Structure 1
Amino acid sequence: MNKISESTILIIDDDDLICQTLYDIFQEKGYKVTIANDGTEAIERVKQMAFDLTFIDILLPDVDGITLLKQFKKDYPESSYIIITGNATLKTAISALEDGADRYFIKPLPVDKIIDIAQEIIENQHLRERLRESEERYRLISENANDLISIVDNKWKFQYCNEAFKRILGYDPNVLVGTSSFNLSHPDDRNECFRQFRKSFLNGSTKSEARLKCKDGSYKWVESIGKITYDEDMKFKHLIGISRDITNRK
């Protein structure tokens, strides 16, 4: 699917030449472009559809561009904004960036640079959208899974536990977050769990069987597999674990 063809740009400026120039450039590259010549028209446009990127001139006939930026940033925080102006000062530039503008350009506009920056902003926005969608799919799968799914940090503390912890072990997942994962291990199994955890640092993964303590004091046997995730410096970040109740097999 062509993401550019799905991308939308709004140009807010009372200068017809600038509007038409940007319109022609981005339209030719496959973007869906809309023009508004003042703040009132722009507000109506954004009510009708969502825009990935909005260009806002600071000096508009009916409203200050920074004021419009603040309103849009509040109402449509997922969109990106580029401020353009012919009367630049350091104060207005700082104000625009502090109020949520992604970039700030001075007229006459450096067209080639604006194209590159706009494409970069929109690509990053689509990347964030895909990441959010991926996280949401993972959350839905995780929360409805029959197996225990957890994430622990390098201090063995839970960073995440799915709803199966409540169904299988009786614990509220939110209560477990921040506590040591070894607290749930049977005392006789802790040395082996610790050994497997340390082993995962070398192998990048682990597999084990152990007993986990239920909230009522009983224990359940689980078969667990774990996978290490690393940060950009290839240092340990998380251990993602999936554990299946195998009590009936014991």
Structure 2
Amino acid sequence: MESDEARILLVDDEVAHLKTLERLFKKEGYQVATAEGGQQALDLLREQRFELVLTDLMMPDIDGMDLLKLVQALQPQAEVILMTAFGTVERAVQGMKEGAYDFVAKPIKRATILKAVRQALERQALVEENRELKARLAEVEEERSVVGQAPLMREAVDRVRQVAPSDATVLITGESGTGKELFARMIGRLSQRADKPFVAINCAALPESILESELFGYEKGAFTGATQRKIGRFEAAHGGTLFLDEIGELSPQVQVKLLRVLQEGAFERLGSNTPTEVDVRVVAATHKDLEAELQKGTFREDLYYRLNVIDIKIPPLRHRIEDVPLLSEHFLRRYNSKNRRDISGFSTEARRALEGYHWPGNVRELENVVERAVVLDRDGRIDVDDLPSQLVERPAKSRHITIPLGTSLEEIEKRVLHETLKMTQGDKKLAAKLLGIATRTVYRKL
């Protein structure tokens, strides 16, 4: 890590010694904050991020050992170096056992302290690089988890690959549990912004007052409790991708501010009249029918068309029943590994139950069912007795469906085709024979 990027917190109740250290590290190009005791240090740790804390061991209010524990709780990424007098070396060694990077004995020698700080920051940079590498590997594995060979699914994946390299705004639609965030992350990874931040926020998870400050940030004093400036998700995603999940839940006030960002690439933090410019690609997702929300007047038409430049529809699992075996095996491998099990597979009856279910919770529900079965199985093979009752204890399938008057012919065809595929357990050739159409017509209709 470059010295001008590293922030160091110096803590010592000996003011003269503290000022000497401050001059030394500022001269070396570090960003420095100082505290004349443990309590002042604690206040700074709550407000600012530091890469390294250099603290005296013996202080009257909060000593160095206690401060070490507080740093580990509040800023676990920060390294800690203890400064100790001759008589407290044993405590400093104990501090290293409890997680401190190093200790230096007083009186402090310039070369010794600079070397210790440089090595601590190098170690921290290495740990951070390793963490980011693991995160990238996890993302690669996550991309592989977009499992499915159904035509509707392959169409969605192909659409992602086609639009990802552009900067166009994307709207992903689909029922809850279909994997909308997974597709959004694929767009981020396959885009020209892949090495920049990918920031996600669930618009339905936060109340309006908090959501606005989370998206756009706020200035110190903007409201009660705003003790310092905070950047929002738009600034955090600068140069990269911002994923707005459940966009249909935005209030009218937030919709107006979002529209302005999309139009002008600028916004004001709460409590500020100064525009902040950002370069962000927006990917949004919703389980709602936004066109219906337009008719109700709950979603702005101009915002809808700004968001819906490219649309990607994720099919519900009941419309791609043929992917259930693939997904089931995928989740079996994942949870075998996670739970250190060695379950060989599914019985024929269990497969039939999985493929015959309508999956209202979509892929998320299937994943939960397989994880539960892996944990509860006793004989090394998943059978119907390992599955939830709603998959097994179902009434006999009806060979009739009810279609209300006024339903379009296109929708009637779709429903008849999907119900027939359920009955044939995803066998398209058999479904085609029952319906008196060619197999290729089944694929085309899907």
Shorter-chain-normalised TM-score: which range?
Answer: 0.5 to 0.7
Q: Which residue of 1 aligns with 2:131?
A: 132
Q: Deviations over 1:50-84 (max 9, x none)?
A: 11111111222322222222222233222111111
Post-superposition offset of 1:34? 0.6
Query: Aligned AA for 1:79?
Result: A
Structure 1 pair 167–4 and aligned structure 2 pair: CA distance change class (3 A): farther
Query: Aligned AA for 2:96?
Result: L
Runs of 5+ consecutive residues of structure 1 not aligned to the other structure: 149-164, 185-213, 219-250
Post-superposition offset of 1:100? 2.0
Q: Which residue of 1 aligns with 2:327?
A: 167
Q: Which residue of 2 aligns with 1:79?
A: 78
Post-superposition offset of 1:147? 8.0
Post-superposition offset of 1:137? 1.9
SS state at 1:130 partner: helix
Post-superposition offset of 1:91? 3.1
Query: Aligned AA for 1:130?
Result: E
Q: Which residue of 2 aligns with 1:21?
A: 20
Q: Within 1, Cα distance between the matches of 2:145 and 2:35?
A: 52
Structure 1 pair 43–179 and aligned structure 2 pair: CA distance change class (3 A): closer
Q: Which residue of 2 aligns with 1:242?
A: none
Q: Within 2, Cα distance between the matches of 1:48 and 1:171?
A: 42
Query: Aligned AA for 2:43?
Result: E
CA contact (8 A) 1:88 1:106 kept: no
SS state at 1:71 partner: helix
Q: Which residue of 2 aligns with 1:235?
A: none
Q: Which residue of 1 aligns with 2:178?
A: none
Number of aligned residues: 171
Query: Aligned AA for 2:143?
Result: N
Q: Which residue of 2 aligns with 1:57?
A: 56
Post-superposition offset of 1:123? 1.2
Query: Aligned AA for 1:123?
Result: E
Post-superposition offset of 1:36? 0.3
Q: Which residue of 1 aligns with 2:5?
A: 6
Query: Aligned AA for 1:105?
Result: V
Q: Within 2, Cα distance between the matches of 1:168 and 1:88?
A: 63
Matches within 5 A, 1:189-200: none
Q: Deviations over 1:200-238 (max 9, x none)?
A: xxxxxxxxxxxxxx75679xxxxxxxxxxxxxxxxxxxx
Query: Aligned AA for 2:87?
Result: A
SS state at 1:78 partner: coil
Q: Within 2, Cα distance between the matches of 1:125 and 1:90?
A: 24
Q: Which residue of 2 aligns with 1:97?
A: 96
Query: Aligned AA for 2:103?
Result: Y
Structure 1 pair 60–123 and aligned structure 2 pair: CA distance change class (3 A): same
CA contact (8 A) 2:89 2:105 kept: no
Runs of 4+ in 1 over 6 A off after TM superposition: none
Post-superposition offset of 1:97? 1.9
Q: Which residue of 2 aligns with 1:47?
A: 46
Matches within 5 A, 1:197-208: none
Q: Deviations over 1:75-100 (max 9, x none)?
A: 32221111112253343233322332
Post-superposition offset of 1:166? 5.6
Structure 1 pair 11–170 and aligned structure 2 pair: CA distance change class (3 A): closer
Q: Which residue of 2 aligns with 1:211?
A: none
Q: Please give the root-mean-square deviation of Cα atoms over the aligned residues, in Å.
A: 2.9
Q: Deviations over 1:127-153 (max 9, x none)?
A: 2112211211221222122689xxxxx
Q: Which residue of 2 aligns with 1:119?
A: 118
Greater helix proportion: 2
Q: Which residue of 2 aligns with 1:67?
A: 66
SS state at 1:35 partner: strand
CA contact (8 A) 1:10 1:55 kept: yes
Query: Aligned AA for 1:99?
Result: E
Q: Within 1, Cα distance between the matches of 2:28 and 2:347?
A: 63
Q: Within 2, Cα distance between the matches of 1:35 and 1:170?
A: 52
SS state at 1:120 partner: helix
Post-superposition offset of 1:115? 0.6
TM-score for both structures, normalised by structure 1: 0.59
Q: Within 2, Cα distance between the matches of 1:75 and 1:36?
A: 16
Q: Within 2, Cα distance between the matches of 1:139 and 1:179?
A: 21
SS state at 1:55 partner: strand
Query: Aligned AA for 2:77?
Result: E
Structure 1 pair 136–93 and aligned structure 2 pair: CA distance change class (3 A): same
SS state at 1:89 partner: helix
Q: Which residue of 2 aligns with 1:109?
A: 108
Structure 1 pair 144–25 and aligned structure 2 pair: CA distance change class (3 A): same
CA contact (8 A) 2:84 2:92 kept: no
